[in-house]
Amino acid sequence: MRRAAPWVVLALALAFPLAMQAEQTYYLSFASRIFVYALAATSLNLILGYGGMISFGHAAFVGTGAYVSSILLSEGVASAWIGWPAAVAASALAALAIGAVSLRTRGAYFIMITLAFAQMMFFLVNSMKAYGGDEGLSLRERASVGLGVDLGSDFAFYYTALAALAAGLYGLHRLAHSRFGRVIQAIRENEERAEAIGFPVYRHKLACFVIAGAAGGLAGALLASHGKYVNPNVLHWTHSGTLMVMVILGGVGRLWGGVIGAAALLGLEDLIANHRVDWLAAIFPNYQQHASLGVGAALLAIVLFAPEGIAGMLARRKHA
């Protein structure tokens, strides 16, 4: 049963669009957005959950991917086969540069320096007049994959995003069970011990950081194509915070943590915003504008009482 579960989910995900009527492409678009955020959150989960590195700068890599792919598109390079690998390469490079400096530090120092780098990129991109600056960059078309497929259709994009997410999850699964993955987790549990045993800690952490950055870059490229718009806010540290919330909500260090967290947070936001709960509105009018109070309370509750996130809770109940 456990082995079959991912396949069941995949089948459901593949079948979902076919059940939608033609006008309901909105839900396909919404689901695509969840997939892309799930990929971004999963890439953060690699560093955060498996690697134990608290990085507040992950938005910098998602943002780099988004901007590189958008700039290429706006300069006439329409093919995704060039644009997206370029985005991944750029983010990996950024992760290498930022990681090389940041990973010399540990703990709170690491958190701060990753945050600082993200802020630096945010300010620099903001002053880039050529690519829209604060007003952002609007794209006329999504990237094209050729093969007779038009990514402009919500249908096609849905499957593309799903494919990317599936690839990311598969990659994480294989990585976590590989020797590299086990070393990373050993480093997370006790860095001094791992060093004493003789593992090249710095190199492993850096490699992990770069892989996660690259995956984040892909998510960024997809995000830019999905919305056909990119803006410096995607690099802001609060965006890193949002990704972190998704990971902790879903289950840090668990394979499906990013997916569950993204679906839960985005789904919750949509529910609160668009489906008015009348009895709640009677007690607390305008509650929909104070949604972040609920998100904050939920997050606090999860951290205090259910630190393993939704995935953890469900797994524990199964074994109890």
Partner 1 sequence: MSWILIVEQSLNGLQFGLMLFLLAAGLTLVFGIMDMINLAHGSLYMLGAFLAATLVQATGSFALGVLLAIPATAVLGMLLEMSVLRTLYARDHLSQVLATFALILIFNEAVRIIWGPDMPLSVPAALSGPVQLLPGMVYPAYRLLIIGVGAAVAGALYLLVARTRIGMLVRAGASNREMALAMGVNIPRLFTLLFGVGAGLCAVAGALLGPLFAVQVGMGENILILAFVVIVIGGIGSIRGALVGSLLVGVVDTIGRAFLPLLFGIFFQPRVASAAGPAIASVLVYLLMAAVLYIKPQGLFPARG
Partner 2 sequence: MTRQLLAPVLVWAVTGWLPLPAQAADKVKIGFISTLSGPSAALGVDIRDAFLLAVKMNGGKLGGLPAEVLVGDDQFKPDVGRQLAERNIKLDKVNFLTGFVFSNIMLASVPVAFENKIIYVSPNAAPSPLAGKQCNPYFFAASWPNDAYHEAAGQYATTRGYQAVYMLAPNYQAGKDSLEGFKRFYKGTIAGEVYTQLGQLDYSAELAQVRAAKPEAVYIFLPGGMGVNFIKQFVAAGLSKDVQLITPGFSSDQDIIRAVGDAMLGTFDAAHWALDLDNAANRKFVAEFEKEYKRLPTVYASQGYDTALLIDSAVREVKGRIEDTEGVRKALKAAKFQSVRGSFRFNRNQYPIQNYYLRVVGKDSQGRLVNKTMGTIFKDRGDAYVQECPMK
User: Which positions touch partner 2 (CB under 8 A)?
Assistant: 1-2, 4-6, 8-9, 12, 16, 19-21, 23-27, 29-31, 33-34, 123, 126-127, 129, 132-136, 138, 223, 227-229, 231, 233, 256, 259-260, 263-264, 267, 269-271, 273-274, 288-292, 310-311, 314-315, 317-318
CA distances (Å), 233 to each of 3, 47, 92, 116, 230, in order?
A: 40, 22, 20, 15, 8
**Count of residues interacting with partner 1 (CB under 8 A):** 40
Residue 116 binding result from partner 1, partner 2, none, given CB thresholds of 5 to 8 Å by partner type: partner 1
CA distances (Å), 65 to each of 299, 300, 320, in order?
A: 28, 31, 42
> x/- site string to partner 1, residues 273 to 302, per CB under 8 A?
-----------------x-xx-xxx-xx--
* Binds partner 1 by CB under 8 A, chosen from 116, 186, 313, 315: 116
Crossing angle between the packed helical segments 25-45 and 257-274, to the nearest 10 degrees = 140
Nearer to partner 1, 37 or 122 (CB): 122
Closest contact distance (angstroms) between CB of 264 and partner 1 is 15
* Binds partner 1 by CB under 8 A, chosen from 18, 108, 282, 320: 108
Nearer to partner 1, 142 or 239 (CB): 239
Instruction: Specify which residues 229 forms β-bridges with.
Output: 138
262 contacts 44 by C-beta, under 8 angstroms: no
Using CB under 8 A as the binding rule, whether residue 48 contacts partner 1 is answered as: yes
Report the SS3 class of residue 229: strand
Backbone angles phi, psi at 311, to 5 degrees: -60, -40
Using CB under 8 A as the binding rule, whether residue 97 contacts partner 1 is answered as: no
* Binds partner 1 by CB under 8 A, chosen from 11, 12, 26, 104: 104
- Rounded to whole angstroms, how far apart are CA atoms 69 and 284? 44
Record the tokens describing residue 111, joined without a space: 């958190």
- Rounded to whole angstroms, how far apart are CA atoms 97 and 204? 15
Contact segment (CB under 8 A) with partner 1 among 63-71, 122-130, 160-168, 175-183 equals: 122-130
Closest contact distance (angstroms) between CB of 71 and partner 1 is 18
74 contacts 139 by C-beta, under 8 angstroms: yes
User: Where does the chain show beta strands of DSSP type E?
Assistant: 137-138, 229-230
Closest contact distance (angstroms) between CB of 34 and partner 1 is 21
Nearer to partner 1, 150 or 189 (CB): 189
* Binds partner 1 by CB under 8 A, chosen from 34, 38, 248, 266: 248
**Checking phi first, is residue 230 left (phi over 0); if not, alpha (psi -120 to 50) or beta?**
beta
* Binds partner 1 by CB under 8 A, chosen from 26, 81, 109, 170: 109
94 contacts 55 by C-beta, under 8 angstroms: no
Closest contact distance (angstroms) between CB of 259 and partner 2 is 7
Nearer to partner 2, 113 or 310 (CB): 310
Instruction: Specify which residues 138 forms β-bridges with.
Output: 229
| Helix ranges (DSSP H) in 228-290 | 237-250, 257-274, 278-283
Q: Rule CB under 8 A: which residues touch partner 1?
A: 48, 52, 54, 101, 104-109, 111-113, 115-117, 119-120, 123-124, 127, 129, 237-238, 241, 244-245, 248, 252, 290, 292-293, 295-297, 299-300, 303-304, 307
